[in-house]
Amino acid sequence: MSHETQDLDQEIMQTLLTHLARFPTKSDELNAQTDLAADMNIDSVNMMELLMEIEDTFDVSFPLNMMANVNTVQDLANQIKQLVENRP
Amino acid sequence: MSISDRFAELAHIRDSLGAVEADPSRIVMEKILSPTEALIAGKRTILVGTNNYLGLTFEPELLDAACAAMHEQGSGTTGSRMANGSFAGHAALERDFAEFYDVPSAMIFSTGYQTNLGLLMAILRPGDKVVLDSHSHACIYDGCRISGADFLAFRHNDPEDLRKRLRRLGGDAEGALVIAEGLYSMLGDIAPLADLCAVAKEYGAWFMVDEAHSFGVYGERGLGLCEEAGILDQVDFITGTFSKSLASLGGFCVSRHPEMQLLRYGSRPYIFTASSSPANIAAADAALRAIRTRPEIKDKLWANANRLYDGLKGLGYELASTVSPVIAVRVPSKEEGARLWNALLDEGVYVNLVLPPAAPDSAALLRCSLSAAHSFEQIDAILSAFKAASAGSDRAVGASAH
């Protein structure tokens, strides 16, 4: 894995954790393996707001239907990375 | 997740409403006395949460037309139009909508929900791009989701945010579908449709507007906010419902594109649903005639909206938007919302209690929807009830004035 890719991974994860920190979690710790549905209390409106913030931060389009493949924070990070790398 | 787990989730939702004594499902209208009054728990109650904007549900012309249609054509159609064929009333109502909007295409559906589902499922395919207002109704989200299209939200009522998101789509913006509503049902705010339409057209996108809450209420002829914004010749699809201003049950879609009629061959919510009953069709058609010929009904609605809006402002309530037939009172907490909602019921006034996530940007909303059938005396009684309800509040009336 190149440094550039590692940097991007870290940047995405760090940004996500910062955005997610405002939502309560059932466990004490918020990390890459936190399950967005089972471990966090984010309603549909807040999830949409979160995605709009992510789109603006990374200048990508994140379709809401992509959330069907997202369970954990890491899954979300992976989807964002894919969008960033394929940015037109 | 198992079905048992899902039942447990739903029970949790019910219990959380019960905990704040705010379960709307416990409200039963034991007797409907008029468009604006019912007996609830044996008490005569003013209804100010029914979306019965023009108050036509007891209008003699509608009742007579519905009864006559039922006697002439029966109580139900017992099947879909594709299987059983259309009744003459279905086709006539579609012609009336097309004529009213002066467009080549109009289709009716069995409910408002199915109208948006039916349009979106038929015109979108996986890979298509949709950019919709973030406050869109569930049926718009559901239609997009089921279609498999890529859909993303723009910030509510923000044309520049829409522009940003269309720009990000690059070449895919051309041919994308942009969706907005006219009057938003929860906050009672209206969309800047002319600006949104201009942005959509600038990028070569299609533009769809749901006028569920604005048809019959806005526009010189009552066609809705697209008429008021002067974009009837540019918007590609307009949808609406019969279950608000039209005082019936069903929905419509009109379009300046003659090809929209082709949806009949590919819209599953149209093909696989029983068509609207003769009584529903006849009532909607009679209501449409009332909108076309009696503009004074709309004027009365607006007089009522202004009176309630000014009165609530005067009492110090924080209102979510400028005046419209939907007036939403912001409440600082879910518990206070539930307390006020119950206190209003005790005072003989029924409003909608709206809790997150249905209450955007608010802890809770007490949502009032006005009717042309409300009298000024009823509006004043509603205001007295709000005053009495807030007397038991921690905050004095007027303390939250902004």
- Over the stretch B257-301, which tens digit does the pLDDT of each residue have? 999 999 999 999 999 999 999 999 999 999 999 999 999 999 999
Q: What is the Cα–Cα distance from B368 to B350, expressed in whole angstroms?
A: 9
Of A46, A64, A45, the C-alpha closest to A55 is A64
pLDDT(B397) > 70: no
Residue to test with chain A: of B168, B169, B178, most A Cβ within 10 A = B168
Whether B168 and A59 lie within 8 Å, measured CB to CB: yes
Judged by CB atoms within 8 Å, which residues 336-375 of B form the interface with A? 356-357, 360
Asked if the C-beta of A59 comes within 8 angstroms of chain B's C-beta atoms, the answer is: yes
Whether B152 and A64 lie within 8 Å, measured CB to CB: yes
Q: What does the pLDDT average to over B189-202?
A: 98
Q: Do B325 and B188 meet the contact criterion of CB atoms below 8 Å apart?
A: yes
Closest approach of A71 to chain B, Cα-based (Å): 13
Q: Do A65 and B148 meet the contact criterion of CB atoms below 8 Å apart?
A: yes
* Residue B2 resides in a domain: no
Query: pLDDT tens digits, residue range A40-65?
Result: 878 888 888 899 999 999 999 999 99
Q: What does the pLDDT average to over A14-39?
A: 86
- The CATH number given to whatever domain includes residue B381 is 3.90.1150.10
Closest approach of A42 to chain B, Cα-based (Å): 10
Q: Do B218 and B288 belong to one domain?
A: yes
Structure tokens at A46: 């807040």
What residues of chain B lie within 8 A of the CB of A51, using their CB?
A: 152-153
Asked if the C-beta of B168 comes within 8 angstroms of chain A's C-beta atoms, the answer is: yes
* Residue B401 resides in a domain: no
Q: What share of chain B is helix, strand, coil (3-state, %, to 5)?
A: 45, 20, 35
pLDDT(B304) > 50: yes
Q: What is the Cα–Cα distance from B369 to B301, expressed in whole angstroms?
A: 10
What residues of chain B lie within 8 A of the CB of A46, using their CB?
A: 357
What residues of chain B lie within 8 A of the CB of A88, using their CB?
A: 170-171
- Of the three residues B272, B293, B314, the one that is the final residue of a domain is B293
Q: Do B281 and B328 belong to one domain?
A: no
Asked if the C-beta of A51 comes within 8 angstroms of chain B's C-beta atoms, the answer is: yes
Q: Do B172 and B141 belong to one domain?
A: yes
| Rg, Å, chain B Cα set | 21
Of B136, B107, B134, B133, the C-alpha closest to B122 is B107
For residue B279, the Cα-to-chain-centroid distance in whole angstroms is 21
**Fold designation for A3-16+31-85:** 1.10.1200
Domain that holds residue B215: 60-293
Query: Which segments of B148-192 does DSSP mark as H helices, in order?
Result: 159-168
Greatest Cα pair distance, chain A, in angstroms, is: 39
* Residue B5 resides in a domain: no
Please name the member of B129, B165, B360 whose beta carbon is closest to the beta carbon of A45.
B360
Dihedral of the alpha carbons of B378, B384, B389, B391, in degrees to the nearest 10: 180
Please name the member of A43, A56, A65 whose beta carbon is closest to the beta carbon of B150.
A65
Q: Do B325 and B53 meet the contact criterion of CB atoms below 8 Å apart?
A: yes
What residues of chain A lie within 8 A of the CB of B170, using their CB?
A: 88
| Residue B37, SS3 per DSSP | strand
Please name the member of A45, A48, A61 whose beta carbon is closest to the beta carbon of B169.
A61
Among A12-26, B8-22, B82-96, B259-273, the least confident range: B8-22
Q: What is the Cα–Cα distance from B119 to B143, expressed in whole angstroms?
A: 8
Structure tokens at B96: 């009336």
Amino acid type, A57: T
- Of the three residues B273, B293, B313, the one that is the final residue of a domain is B293
Closest approach of B277 to chain A, Cα-based (Å): 35
Q: What is the Cα–Cα distance from A39 to B402, expressed in whole angstroms?
A: 38
Please name the member of A52, A55, A63 whose beta carbon is closest to the beta carbon of B151.
A63
- The CATH number given to whatever domain includes residue B255 is 3.40.640.10
* Residue B4 resides in a domain: no
| Rg, Å, chain A Cα set | 13
**Which pLDDT score, from 0 to 100, does residue B402 have?**
31
Question: How many C-beta neighbours within 10 Å does residue B221 have?
Answer: 16
Asked if the C-beta of B150 comes within 8 angstroms of chain A's C-beta atoms, the answer is: yes
Looking at the structure of chain B, the number of domains it has is: 2
Strand partners, B108: B252
Q: Do B218 and B366 belong to one domain?
A: no
What residues of chain B lie within 8 A of the CB of A55, using their CB?
A: 152, 165, 168
Q: Do B186 and B302 belong to one domain?
A: no
Strand intervals (E) in B226-383: 237-241, 251-255, 318-319, 326-331, 349-350, 352-354, 364-369
- For residue A25, what pLDDT band results from cuts at 50, 70 and 90? confident
Q: Do B109 and B82 belong to one domain?
A: yes
Query: pLDDT tens digits, residue range B62-98?
Result: 999 999 999 999 999 999 999 999 999 999 999 999 9
Q: Do B29 and B139 belong to one domain?
A: no
Q: Do B300 and B278 belong to one domain?
A: no
Q: Do B345 and B329 belong to one domain?
A: yes
**Which pLDDT score, from 0 to 100, does residue B231 have?**
98
Please name the member of A43, A46, A63 whose beta carbon is closest to the beta carbon of B150.
A63
Residue to test with chain A: of B133, B152, B203, most A Cβ within 10 A = B152
End-to-end CA distance of chain A: 23
Question: How many C-beta neighbours within 10 Å does residue B370 have?
Answer: 32
Q: Do B289 and B300 belong to one domain?
A: no
Whether A61 and B168 lie within 8 Å, measured CB to CB: yes
Q: What is the Cα–Cα distance from A63 to B130, expressed in whole angstroms?
A: 9
pLDDT(B401) > 80: no
What residues of chain B lie within 8 A of the CB of A45, using their CB?
A: 134, 356-357, 360
Of B392, B390, B384, B379, the C-alpha closest to B317 is B390
User: Angle formed by the axes of helices A73-85 and A3-20, to 10°?
Assistant: 130
Q: Do B275 and B253 belong to one domain?
A: yes
What residues of chain A lie within 8 A of the CB of B128, using their CB?
A: none
Domain definitions of chain A by residue range: 3-16+31-85
ipTM (interface pTM)? 0.89
Q: Do B323 and B247 belong to one domain?
A: no
Dihedral of the alpha carbons of B177, B180, B181, B187, in degrees to the nearest 10: 150
- Of the three residues B278, B293, B308, the one that is the final residue of a domain is B293
Of B15, B36, B17, the C-alpha closest to B301 is B36
Structure tokens at B85: 């064929």
Of B82, B103, B142, B91, the C-alpha closest to B274 is B82
Q: What does the pLDDT average to over A10-26?
A: 89
* Residue B285 resides in a domain: yes
Question: Residue B85 — left, alpha, or beta (φ > 0 → left; ψ -120 to 50 → alpha)?
Answer: left
Q: Which residue of B has its CA nearest to A59?
A: B168
Asked if the C-beta of B294 comes within 8 angstroms of chain A's C-beta atoms, the answer is: no
Secondary structure of B230-255 as H, E, C letters: CCCCCCCEEEEECCCCCCCCCEEEEE
Structure tokens at A13: 């994860």
